[in-house]
Structure formats: C-alpha cells, structure tokens
Amino acid sequence: MKMPENLPLRSAYLAHAAVALALVLFASMARADDLTIEITRGSDSATPIGVVPFQGSDSLSGDVARIVQDDLARSGYFDPLARDAMFARPHSADDVAFGDWRSLDVRYLLVGRREQNADGNAIRYDLLDVSGGRPILQESITVGSDHLRGAAHRISDAVFEAITDIRGAFSTRIAYVTAQGVGDNIDYGLYVADADGHNSQSVLTSNEPILSPAWSPDGKKLAYVSFENERPSIYVQQVSSGERIRLTDFDGINGAPAWSPDGRRMAMSLSRDGQPEIYLMNLADREIQRLTHNASIDTEPSWAPDGRSLVFTSDRSGGPQLYRYSLDSGQAERLTFTGQYNARGRIGPYSEQVFMVHRSKQGYQVARQDLESGRLVVLSDSTQDESPSIAPNGTMLLFATQQGGKGVLSAVSVDGRASFRLPAASGDVREPAWSPFPSSGR
Amino acid sequence: MSLPNRFSSIAASSIAGRQRTPLKPLARFFVLALAVAVTAGCSSTGGTQGGESYGDATGSNGTRGNGASTSGTGSGGQYGTDGAGRSDVGQQADSRIPEVRTIYFAFDRDTIKDEYESVVMAHARYLRTNDDAHVVLKGHTDERGTREYNLALGERRANAVKRFLRVQGVSSSRMSVVSYGEERPAVRGNDDQARGRNRRVQFSY
C-alpha cells in the first residue's frame, strides 16, 4: 500500500497547529544553554597523557588543548595530567625533555602551536610516545575562524585513533529532546549539539510532544515523532536546511522511526491495524510492509548493522522483552530472558552486543547483553535510566537519567568503567541520539 | 492506588447526589448495559457501584475550573451543590459534557476500575444524547519504562475506554484515540501518588 504524496491534513488540526506550534527550523546560532560536562567516574585503567596548552592558541579565541584534553578525559580511555602538575610547556617535539614527563608517569604527550599556512590559520601538533621518546603523529590542520572547536575535535579523533586503534567519535553530534513545564503547558524542543554538548542548535520547538529522534546513516537528516497536529506523525528533517517532510500520518501510533543502514528504508511502529506492529517503509515510494502479526505490542525497532535483522520490543510473552526479527526468514526469536522488563534494544556497531533498558530490583537501568552468551550486565547505577544510544565507534553509551528531579543526559563507557553527565541549565533533557560518523572526511 | 478525595469533592457531590435518587428507567438501562459490557469481556470486573464508589471515582483531572469553563456550563461548583436532590439532574447532565473527564489506572494495567465505570457511562450517555459530540480519548502513562512502549500502553488504556463506550452504544466514528504515553504528565514527581495521577485517560471534547 502507498502513502499519498499530498497527505490530507485535518483542517481542525491544521488550524490548531498553526496557532499552537512555534516552529523554529534550525536557528543557526549557538545557544547559551549548551549542555555542560561533569565527569562522574573515571576509569582506573585510563592511560595517562599530558596535553600541553598550545602556543598562540589565545589568538584563536579558544583553548584548543583544553578542548582536546576534555574530549580525551571524557572517553574514559585517558587520564590527562593536570596542567599545574606540568614542569614545562613545550610546543613542539624538539622542545620536549622526555625524562621530565617520564617522571610524571605520562605515557603520551600532545604538544601544538598555531601557525600560518596557505589557507590561513592552522594548528600543528605532535603526539609523542614518552617512554620511547619519539613522535607517533605529526600533523597540521587548517582552522576556519569559526571552527575552532571542530578543529580541536578532529585533533582528538586523530590522537584517540593513533593510540587506541579505534576511530575517534569526538567530531560527531548528538540530538536530544528538551521539555519544560507540566500538564498542558510544556514546551518541547529538539536540538542537535556537538558530542561534548557545545554548539547546541534548535531543530524544532513545539508545545506538543516530540520524541524518538533518529539520525539518517549519512548524519544529514533526523527522523522524529511530533504531535504538532495533536496526534503523532513521523517527520524527516534535513538538519542543515531545516527542510522537512511528514513521512507518515496513519491512524493511531506513528512511532519509533529507525533508518536502515543503507538509508533506503525506515522501520517504524504503527497501530493502524489495532495494536502497534513493526512495519518497514521503502523511502523512495513510501510503500509499507508489515513485519509482525500478533495481538501484542510490537515497537521500538532497531537495525542490526548488516541490515538483515531488526531488534524490537514485544510484550507477546506478557511483559516487554527484546526479540530479533530476521528479514531473511521472516521469523522473530526472543533475545532477552533476564528480568521482567527489557525494552528499546539497540545493537552495537560490531553486532556483538545489544543495549537496552532493563528493569532490575533497583529500577530502570541501561544494560548490555552479549548476543553470543546471553549474559546481561547492568551498566548504569541510577533508577530511571532510558534511551541508550551508542557512539558510532562503540565505546560509549549515551542515555537519559534523572538528577535532582530533572532529566539529564548521562554517558557510560561500554565496559561500564567511566561515566559523565551532560546537565542542561534548565528543564529536562532526554532521548539522546548519537549521530553516525561524519560522512565527509573518510 | 487510592486517590485523595480532596481532588474530587465538588464533582463527587453532584454525581453522588444524582446516584442516590431512585433508579429511573434510564438508569436501569445502564445497569443492564453494564452487565452487557461485563459479559462482553470489556475489561470490567463488574459489580454495581453505589454512591461510595462514585465518590471515589472522580479523582477529577485537577482542572476543575478549566473543565467547567471550557465546557461552557458556567460554574461547575454551583451545579454540584445545587444539583443534588433535583429530579431533573440526570436529564440536565445528559446535555452537558460530564464534569469528570479523567479516569485513572493501576500500574501496567488497562482495566477500567469499578470505581470509574460510572464516569465512563456518564460520557456514554452524553455522547448518545448529543449526536454531534465527538470525544478524543487521550491515554497516558507514568514516566517509568521506555517512551515508545509507554505510547503503546497509553493507547491500550484509551482503547479500553473506547471499547467500553462502544458496548454502551457509542459509535466508533464519534471517538478517536490518541496516546501521549509519558509525554504529557499531569503532575511532576516520581512518587506513587504522582505516578497514579499520571496513569490516566482523559475525555477531551
């Protein structure tokens, strides 16, 4: 069956929506209410590194080394040396007295300086192996005047990969939903920000609920559910231009959009046939195909990285549990058996693990289950955790939790050893969605 | 979960007052209809409801004043105090949108509690009497659990009310269902009382 190209809008809804909805399509300025980082737990196995303040970075109107240092600390893989513990502040490999840094138990050292190249401002940096006394990475990157933070994150990516062999995810972005107010007076917002919470930009604001943001695999579009017509519809919006379409307007729930890894299909949950079922929509012609058939709730689909199966939540056994639907066989098999409540599964980028919301004796927590062994490990330690979203390099998990009665974003390393929080100045923040790697650059 | 009666005093007095009058033919019909609903497996555990359970039923939606003004009935409070004991109260009520427009649910359940059946029946009566009325049943959950799953649970609650109304003779075309899941909490807070106030279906006209 097909969706009509011009979706009929209920006139009453439209009139109401016109008044009720304040659509802010990508206000491009950075907001004062960026999320801030609070590191809550460092990993005891983190590698000590010295990130020396870069020479001339004041003239770049920002402390590049500080941004890099914060990135590395947040990852849980690194334990940066405090600046006031540094004996010296060298800016190039030639100036480094390796013996001094060895005595500080620093394994790696990052030094850098501003320079001019043909394109204008640039930063040259050297990553040094302290014990070997030799450089392992020496590069120069061009900095646009307004992209200092972006340049810093690219340095972090390079340093992270050179040492860990894992691609860095510091240049990625996050989407999240905000809410302020109660009852009939709640302002909802959908934002995107850098992975460290800076440079937040509004994608959509509304006084009707917004939920379930999902990135397209190329990182250029967001699908989300908006109630702006007083019922849920799935929208797809170009992040840079704000241009968008309403993808679905079926009766009942239009929810839980999830792009296929090739970006050509969207899995979703629709209740048009009575109760929520998993559907696939072919995005080119909007043809839909129903995958699940039973009288229970089937929702929260999520793709395996190879695009051949989907994990989803179903209460067909009585309470919510995760199932895996194979597109090859058309069969669903149950994945989770630990506890009475396992929902909103997300398969990690290496397909070995599924991350979910698990109800333990303590409450609702983020957990990981090894797909091979079936073993489930709780990763978070509060009682109202939800919406786990995995960094594209598989190292960190971002999720929503409560702190002081407020919704905040929190992150934990996939091994559970390091964690940090991203509180907002006001209101609730929730439903983080970690973007894929930027499509340009590789 | 038990709701505090202070939320309900005004609306409760009017409905309870009506309920205490002897059963009229119309009322007898509703008792019969309830029996039908029960045998139809309509999430009801049956049982008759007296003035007591009616009183508990209200819980109101925390927007007594709003409810009255949006329905255009003037002052709900006056109606409540003056209405008790009048013989024509039941008839009047059928031409007005019932004042109690929210019912509450137990955790993880979509069963309409006995104490709220009378509320749903009052809406059935109103909808049958007023041909052009249309109700949106808005289902909600508390904040626990995942958001999309809660959307589904909220829809289940609203659909349970819709089924009940249909058995009461209200055409499906007069009702629509929207689930907000946990997205529109009535109150903030994550204690049992706040959660109980958030697990609800609202009748919106």
**Tens digits of residue pLDDT in A111-133:** 999 887 777 788 999 999 999 99
Q: Which residues in chain B have Cβ-Cβ distances shorter than 8 Å to A276?
A: 151-152, 155
Task: Name which of B62, B148, B183 is nearest A269 (Cβ-Cβ).
Answer: B148
Task: Among A42-46, A63-67, B75-79, name the one with the lowest average pLDDT.
Answer: B75-79
Kindly state the percentage of chain B with pLDDT values over 90. Answer: 51
pLDDT band of residue A224 (cuts 50, 70, 90) is very high
Count of CB contacts below 8 A, A vs B?
A: 91
Task: Name which of B143, B156, B186 is nearest A183 (Cβ-Cβ).
Answer: B186
pLDDT band of residue A36 (cuts 50, 70, 90) is confident
pLDDT band of residue B92 (cuts 50, 70, 90) is low
What integer is the mean pLDDT of B104-123? 95
Q: Which residues in chain A have Cβ-Cβ distances shorter than 8 Å to B179?
A: 232, 253
Residue A267 sits at the chain B interface (C-beta within 8 Å): no
pLDDT at B41 exceeding the cut of 60: no
Q: Which of B66, B110, B146, B202 to mutate to test the interface with A (most CBs of A within 10 A)?
A: B146
> Interior CA angle at B153 toward A267 and B192, to 5°?
135
What confidence score (pLDDT) does residue B38 get? Answer: 42
Q: Which of A297, A316, A358, A428 to mutate to test the interface with B (most CBs of B within 10 A)?
A: A297
Task: Name which of A182, A231, A405 is nearest B187 (Cβ-Cβ).
Answer: A182
Closest CA to A342 of A326, A309, A318: A318
Residue A408 sits at the chain B interface (C-beta within 8 Å): no
Higher pLDDT, B174 or A420: B174
Task: Name which of B155, B185, B187 is nearest A253 (Cβ-Cβ).
Answer: B155
Give, rounded to a whole angstrom, the gap between the first and last alpha carbons of chain B: 27
Which stretches of A106-248 are assigned E, i.e. beta strand?
A: 108-117, 120-129, 134-142, 173-182, 185-194, 201-206, 210-215, 221-226, 233-238, 244-248
Two structure tokens written together for A20: 């009720």
Q: State how many domains chain B has.
A: 1
List the strands of the sheet with A406-413, edge to edge.
A38-41, A419-422, A406-413, A396-403, A386-390
Q: Do A297 and B189 touch (CB under 8 A)?
A: no
Residue pair B106/B71 in contact (Cβ under 8 Å)? The answer is: no
Cα–Cα distance for residue pair A364/A163, rounded to 1 Å: 35
Residue A196 sits at the chain B interface (C-beta within 8 Å): no
Structural domain boundaries enclosing B115: 5-204
Let me know if A78 is exposed, middle or buried by CB neighbors in 10 A (0-12, 13-18, 19+): buried
Which residue of A lies nearest to B154 if distances are taken between CA atoms?
A: A253
Residue pair B113/B105 in contact (Cβ under 8 Å)? The answer is: yes
Q: Do B155 and A182 touch (CB under 8 A)?
A: no
Neighbours of A18 (CB within 10 A): 10
Residue A384 sits at the chain B interface (C-beta within 8 Å): yes
Task: Name which of B147, B152, B153 is nearest A211 (Cβ-Cβ).
Answer: B147
> Which CA distances in Å does A239 have to A26, A263, A266, A281, B166?
7, 15, 18, 21, 44
Q: Do A343 and B149 touch (CB under 8 A)?
A: yes
Task: Name which of B153, B156, B178 is nearest A231 (Cβ-Cβ).
Answer: B178
Cα–Cα distance for residue pair B55/A15, rounded to 1 Å: 38
Q: Which residues in chain A have Cβ-Cβ distances shorter than 8 Å to B178?
A: 230-232
Residue pair A427/A405 in contact (Cβ under 8 Å)? The answer is: no
Let me know if A282 is exposed, middle or buried by CB neighbors in 10 A (0-12, 13-18, 19+): middle
List, for residues A338-395, the tens digit of each pLDDT value: 999 999 999 999 889 999 999 999 999 999 999 999 999 999 888 899 999 999 999 9
Q: Do B148 and A271 touch (CB under 8 A)?
A: no
Q: Do B146 and A431 touch (CB under 8 A)?
A: no
A31-41 burial string, b = 16+ CB within 10 Å, else e?
beebbebeeee
What confidence score (pLDDT) does residue A235 get? Answer: 98
> Interior CA angle at A296 toward A295 and A298, to 5°?
120
What confidence score (pLDDT) does residue B93 get? Answer: 55
List, for residues A381-412, the tens digit of each pLDDT value: 888 999 999 999 999 999 999 988 889 999 99
Q: Which residues in chain B have Cβ-Cβ distances shorter than 8 Å to A384?
A: 143-144, 190
Q: Which residues in chain A have Cβ-Cβ distances shorter than 8 Å to B187?
A: 182-183
In this structure, are strands A342-347 and A173-182 parallel, antiparallel, or unpaired? unpaired
Residue pair A421/A409 in contact (Cβ under 8 Å)? The answer is: yes
pLDDT at B84 exceeding the cut of 90: no
Higher pLDDT, B36 or A336: A336
Residue A211 sits at the chain B interface (C-beta within 8 Å): yes
Q: Do A211 and B148 touch (CB under 8 A)?
A: yes
Q: Which residues in chain A have Cβ-Cβ distances shorter than 8 Å to B152?
A: 253, 269, 271, 275-276, 297, 299
Q: How far is A108 from chain B (nearest CA, A)?
A: 42
Q: Which residues in chain B have Cβ-Cβ distances shorter than 8 Å to A386?
A: 145-147
Residue A279 sits at the chain B interface (C-beta within 8 Å): no
Q: How far is A228 from chain B (nearest CA, A)?
A: 12
Which residue of A lies nearest to B186 if distances are taken between CA atoms?
A: A183
Kindly state the percentage of chain A with pLDDT values over 90. Answer: 74
Region of residue A284 (phi > 0: left; psi between -120 and 50: alpha; otherwise: beta) = alpha
Q: How far is B168 from chain A (nearest CA, A)?
A: 20
pLDDT band of residue B52 (cuts 50, 70, 90) is very low
Q: Which residues in chain B have Cβ-Cβ distances shorter than 8 Å to A212?
A: 147-148
Residue A416 sits at the chain B interface (C-beta within 8 Å): no
Q: Which residues in chain B have Cβ-Cβ distances shorter than 8 Å to A402?
A: 190
What confidence score (pLDDT) does residue A218 get? Answer: 96
CATH of the domain at B141: 3.30.1330.60
Phi and psi at residue A19, to the nearest 5°: -80, -45
What integer is the mean pLDDT of A406-421? 87
Q: Do B186 and A253 touch (CB under 8 A)?
A: no
> Interior CA angle at B162 toward B136 and A277, to 5°?
90
Residue A260 sits at the chain B interface (C-beta within 8 Å): no
pLDDT band of residue A146 (cuts 50, 70, 90) is low
What confidence score (pLDDT) does residue A59 get? Answer: 59
List, for residues B166-198, the tens digit of each pLDDT value: 999 999 999 999 999 999 999 988 789 999 999
Residue A341 sits at the chain B interface (C-beta within 8 Å): yes
What confidence score (pLDDT) does residue B87 get? Answer: 39
Q: Do B149 and A299 touch (CB under 8 A)?
A: yes
**Domain coordinates in residue numbering, chain A:** 11-33+174-434, 41-164
pLDDT at B165 exceeding the cut of 90: yes
What integer is the mean pLDDT of A175-193? 91
Higher pLDDT, B101 or A26: B101
Please give the mean pLDDT across all residues of chain A. 88
CATH number of A11-33+174-434: 2.120.10.30
pLDDT at B19 exceeding the cut of 70: no
pTM of the model: 0.80
Residue pair B170/B128 in contact (Cβ under 8 Å)? The answer is: yes
Cα–Cα distance for residue pair B173/B161, rounded to 1 Å: 14
pLDDT at A271 exceeding the cut of 90: yes
Assign domain A41-164 one CATH number from 3.40.50.10070, 3.40.50.150, 2.60.120.330, 3.40.50.720: 3.40.50.10070
pLDDT band of residue B21 (cuts 50, 70, 90) is very low
Residues 6+ away with beta carbon under 8 Å from A432 = A174, A175, A176, A387, A389, A398, A399, A400, A409
Which residue of B lies nearest to A268 if distances are taken between CA atoms?
A: B148
A114-150 burial string, b = 16+ CB within 10 Å, else e?
beeeeeebbbbbbbbbbeeeeeebebebebeeeebbb
